[in-house]
Structure formats: C-alpha cells, structure tokens
Amino acid sequence: MCPSGAAKARRKRKGASGRPPAGRKRRRAPEPALEPSGWASLPTDIAGLVSGRLLADDVVDYLTFRAVCSGWRTSTSDLGILALSKPQLRPRGWIALCDGDAAPLDGAGEITFFHTRTARRLRVRLPDLRCHRVVGFTDGLVILLHKRTTVVRVVHPFTLATVELPPLAPAFRSAIKDRGALFHMSAFVCCSPTAPFSVVASFVWKPMVLWTQPGRLRWRSFTMAWWSFRTSCPSKACSSRPPRGRRR
C-alpha cells in the first residue's frame, strides 16, 4: 500500500478530525475547590486576639468587629446579659445627648451618644423609648422609668441587653410621699466585686433613697445619712445590708 493510502486509512479510523473517537476521550480530573481567602478567613486565634484588644479599648469597636462577617462572629463571644453585669463590658466613655425625657429633636425614638475621648457620635434607637423617661446614666448604661407602670429598666444601648426591675410606685408612695419628686428623680448603677449590681434612685430635697437589685421583688428605702456613709466606703457600698432600724 502506498504511503498516501496508509494515511487515509489512519484518518478513517480516527475520524475526520484526526482525533480519537468520542467514546475514547479521557475525562479531566475535577479541579480542587478553592479555599476562601482574605480577612473573612482570619484564623480563630488571631480573631480572638484582635477582638480582645478591641474589647479592652471600647466595647462598641468589639461589637463592630463581630458584625463584619459570620466568621468573625462565630470566633467571638456574644456578650448577652454580661454586658450589664461586668463593668469592663459597658460602653465606658460614652455619654447621651438628651434631656430627662429622652425627647430627640426628630422624635424618632433615638438617642445620640458622644464618646468623650474620640469625639465619635452614634445615634441609637431604643425600643419603646416614647413610653419612658431617662432618669440616669452610669458607664454608658441607660436607666429608664416607664411613665405609666413605674417599672425601671437598665439598658445597654449598643447591645440592647435589658434588666427589668420592679415598679417604683409602692416604695415611692411609702417613703417619699411627694408626687412632684418623681419628676426630679435621678438614678444610677453601682456595683461591687462580691455582689450583683444595684440601682439607686434619689430625689431632690428628699432625705431618702430607694434601692434594689436584679431579681428582687421590691424597692427598699434608706435614709440619706446611712447611704452617704456607705458610699464613702467604696469597699462596702452596695454590697452589704443596711443596719437595723435604718431601713424602711
């Protein structure tokens, strides 16, 4: 057979294109899946180190870090109710720019917070703010008094963690006995290393303060002289029971 005839025979066996038949075509091996890259794949230990340093500086930066992506959120802890009970988790350095009724200019139920060190400003919407009066701030925590039920709430403005305290009205009617004093009420949170945090309410020109803690069913009243003595001793303030005969 001549060379040209042999070439034609080979082309017939391979097909018109000169390639092997389709049934004999080799399949390509699947390509390995690409692993995620970038900041979202930050190792857990590194994310924990970064979040810990942010938390030590400002809890708002820590919350912002957790909100970036699901990976960072799962590698850090949700503060939950600990944001209220632990002083290091409170928004220290943040103050609220509002009056006693928390009535913002736009009426949107928001409070503007200002950071005293960085001059940063944030607007925070608090749920059901219209039904409350803001009666105090401590370490960035907001203390609210319900206008109708007199229930007191302590709110972390950036996590919205909330502790609800018993109504103030029964103890107020028994100890203060002046309805007008309720409009001049101020409250603050105090804490002790060995006891849960407490909330104290004081009233202008009244020699009594009201005190309670989360989990208690009612408020208790103390004379201002006893309270002044206790708060002058930081190791004892808010952590022990009042002496007999001074509590009402």
Distance, CA of 122 to CA of 196 (rounded, Å): 29
Distance, CA of 122 to CA of 112 (rounded, Å): 6
pLDDT value of position 13: 55
Residue 91, Cβ density class (10 Å: 0-12 exposed, 13-18 middle, ≥19 buried) = buried
- Residues 6 or more apart from 231 whose CB is under 8 A from it? 190, 237
Q: Decide: 246 and 222 in contact? Cβ < 8 Å.
A: yes
pTM of the model: 0.69
Kindly report, residue by residue over 148-195, the tens digit of the pLDDT.
999 999 999 998 999 999 999 999 888 887 777 878 888 989 876 666
Among candidate residues 35, 82, 58, 32, the one with its CA nearest the CA of residue 214:
82
pLDDT value of position 240: 41
Q: What is the C-alpha end-to-end distance of the chain, expressed in Å?
A: 123
Any idea which residue has 């038949």 for tokens? 21
pLDDT value of position 96: 84
pLDDT value of position 241: 47
Among candidate residues 91, 218, 61, 200, the one with its CA nearest the CA of residue 155:
91
pLDDT value of position 206: 80
Kindly report, residue by residue over 182-205, the tens digit of the pLDDT.
788 889 898 766 667 889 998 887
pLDDT value of position 224: 67
pLDDT value of position 244: 46
Distance, CA of 109 to CA of 101 (rounded, Å): 11
pLDDT value of position 219: 94
pLDDT value of position 105: 44
pLDDT value of position 193: 65
pLDDT value of position 167: 94
Among candidate residues 197, 199, 198, 202, the one with its CA nearest the CA of residue 185:
202
Distance, CA of 117 to CA of 127 (rounded, Å): 27
pLDDT value of position 26: 65
Distance, CA of 177 to CA of 197 (rounded, Å): 27
Distance, CA of 127 to CA of 155 (rounded, Å): 10
- Residues 6 or more apart from 116 whose CB is under 8 A from it? 93, 94, 95
- Give the residue ranges of the chain where pLDDT is below 50: 34, 102-106, 229, 232-246, 248
